[in-house]
Structure 1
Amino acid sequence: MSFLRRCVCLASLLLIMPLASGASAQVELEDGFTSLFNGTDLTGWTVPEGDNGHWKVLDGVIDYDAASEATGDRNLWTEKEYGDFILKLDWRIKETSGTYDVPIVLSDGSYLKDATGTPITIKRLNADSGVYLRGTGRAQMNIWCWPVGSGEVYGYRNNKQMPTDVRAGVTPRINADNPVGEWNTFEIIMVGDRLTVLLNDHLIIENARLPDVPERGRIALQHHGGRNADGTYKPASSLVQFRNIWIKELPTASEDQAAAE
């Protein structure tokens, strides 16, 4: 291909990209979604007190380096609470932060174990973040490099007091993650205490039950890990980015009942 032709192709691509992005946003607006991120600043989000700029907007995306200096909660929370909703967001792990002993999660939510009953682990490069639903860390959907894939609800899946159907229900059917460095898309649907999740157009969680999940609550992007005293990163730190965050609020059962009355 000639140099001139390459230049023409590149110019055409640059013209198409913003149009495609704008078209996508228009589709979301027409379908009743509201943007939770304006691409410019963190309006609508509560930045942890004392964070000192580690949660930030960089090149039109929410960027986090796992090094928040806040002394309390270091997650990034929405200002508003939500009940039933469809939440869409893009996320990516920028890079991993060291190796981690990762267990093998079976389809029923339990761990693969050796003859002594000890969970078998394998070493994996890892990073770790997630999305908190309804204001509680227990309803956290993980973003990480585990073989089970992102999207599992660790606080329910790893709770041995939970019924077996609950633990199995919040375990992803497949690992649908794209490689580290590439973007992924979550579509998260909460109706009552039921959760359904699509990751990169793959149905990974279907109508899973989350017993005692709050009826309403804020949404958070999770902090995990951080820096050691020597400046190096702890294993599985949240070296992540987020973009294209949209939410569509759905009528709840109590709202339907009130409308009927």
Structure 2
Amino acid sequence: MFSFPGENLKAREMSVKMLASGHCIWKIAGQTEKMKYLATLAISFALPVTSLFAEHHELPKPDEDGWITLFNGKDLAGWSGNPDVWKVREGYISGQIAKLSGGNTFLIYHHPFADFKLEAEWILVDGKGNSGIQVRSKHSESGANKWVVSGYQADIGNGWHGKLYEERGRGVLAGKYKNKPTIKKDNGWNKYLITAKGSKLTQELNGVVTIEFDDKDPKKSSKSGVIALQYHSPGGFEVRFRNIRIKPAK
């Protein structure tokens, strides 16, 4: 119950109507100023609860060429994911767990990007497992798994390197290579360059363009979303990432 200093509201005629959304409408006879006060409170209550707890990560400052570093090489500032899977080791992000339950999981950078160039280096240790880099994706939850996304994925995995997949969506979007990439042997670092501009996505892997895709589906295409790194179930492998940076279009 709300009250005003120095006054007993019990003497006032007051009715409270609870809306289905959980918001309150207060009616107080003959109290214009108090109506304004309570209206302000009602507006405050009307704010979605999720907005009060939404994560906000301020982007690091860009360099002189406009590139923004998303991974600082020291910790996972700006990212969120399953702490049992994702660790920082010797300047790179390691995704590794013996057995993963609950489906694929993701390390998510909580800031939306629309048009950009994204660079990231990666290793799929000993060529085992499956991973990918999500762009323009949407964060959701799946049961106990809090770190799930849907959207475009630059794929990583034997038979999948360089292809474009849509996680929790349409599946393979571009599976025929424009140019077939060569993957580094002996756990060498590979490099993705992903360009998103309007409805078009281009993926370049180790210096060659592997796919060019124009998503003209007005209902299923995505023009903006988060960046995320995938760790594929059921686990039992290690994937590494480093030198992750983005250059948003001006």
Give the counterpart letter for 2:124 in structure 1.
I
Q: Match for residue 109 of structure 1?
A: none
2:145 corresponds to 1:86: no
Matches within 5 A, 1:97-112: none
Shift of 1:240: 0.7
Distance in 2, matches of 1:249 and 1:243, equals: 19
Shift of 1:201: 1.2
Question: Which consecutive residues of structure 1, in runs of 5 or more, have no partner in the other structure?
Answer: 1-27, 97-125, 228-232, 252-261
Distance in 2, matches of 1:33 and 1:181, equals: 27
Select the structure that is richer in strand: 2
Matches within 5 A, 1:124-143: 126-136=128-138, 137-143=150-156
Give me the TM-score of the superposition, normalised by structure 2.
Answer: 0.61
2:197 corresponds to 1:191: yes
Q: Structure 1 residues 127 and 56 mapped into 2: Cα distance closer, same or farther (>3 Å)? A: same
Q: Does the Cα contact within 8 Å between 1:131 and 1:220 map onto a contact in 2?
A: yes
Distance in 2, matches of 1:84 and 1:250, equals: 5
The count of aligned residue pairs is: 174
Shift of 1:173: 2.3
Distance in 2, matches of 1:172 and 1:159, equals: 20
Distance in 1, matches of 2:73 and 2:94, equals: 11
Select the structure that is richer in helix: 1
Q: Structure 1 residues 70 and 81 mapped into 2: Cα distance closer, same or farther (>3 Å)? A: farther
% same residue: 30
Q: Does the Cα contact within 8 Å between 1:133 and 1:217 map onto a contact in 2?
A: yes
2:81 corresponds to 1:47: yes
Distance in 2, matches of 1:79 and 1:178, equals: 30
Which residue, 158, 161, 171 being the options, matches 1:145? Answer: 158
Q: Does the Cα contact within 8 Å between 2:100 and 2:233 map onto a contact in 1?
A: no
Distance in 1, matches of 2:101 and 2:226, equals: 19
Q: Match for residue 75 of structure 1?
A: 106
Give me the TM-score of the superposition, normalised by structure 1.
Answer: 0.59
Distance in 2, matches of 1:38 and 1:67, equals: 26
2:179 corresponds to 1:173: yes
Q: Does the Cα contact within 8 Å between 1:92 and 1:180 map onto a contact in 2?
A: no
Q: Match for residue 224 of structure 1?
A: 232
Shift of 1:138: 3.9
Shift of 1:194: 0.6
Range with bigger deviation, 65-74 or 37-46: 65-74
Q: Structure 1 residues 47 and 68 mapped into 2: Cα distance closer, same or farther (>3 Å)? A: farther
SS of residue paired to 2:126: coil
Question: Which consecutive residues of structure 2, in runs of 5 or more, have no partner in the other structure?
Answer: 1-61, 139-149
Q: Structure 1 residues 67 and 133 mapped into 2: Cα distance closer, same or farther (>3 Å)? A: farther
Q: Match for residue 209 of structure 1?
A: 214
SS of residue paired to 1:65: strand
Give the counterpart letter for 1:198 in structure 2.
E
CA RMSD of aligned residues (A): 2.8
SS of residue paired to 2:224: coil
Which residue, 63, 78, 84 being the options, matches 1:29? Answer: 63
Q: Structure 1 residues 185 and 36 mapped into 2: Cα distance closer, same or farther (>3 Å)? A: same
Runs (4 or more) in structure 1 with deviation over 3 Å come to: 66-73
Shift of 1:95: 2.2
Q: Match for residue 60 of structure 1?
A: 91
Give the counterpart letter for 1:209 in structure 2.
D
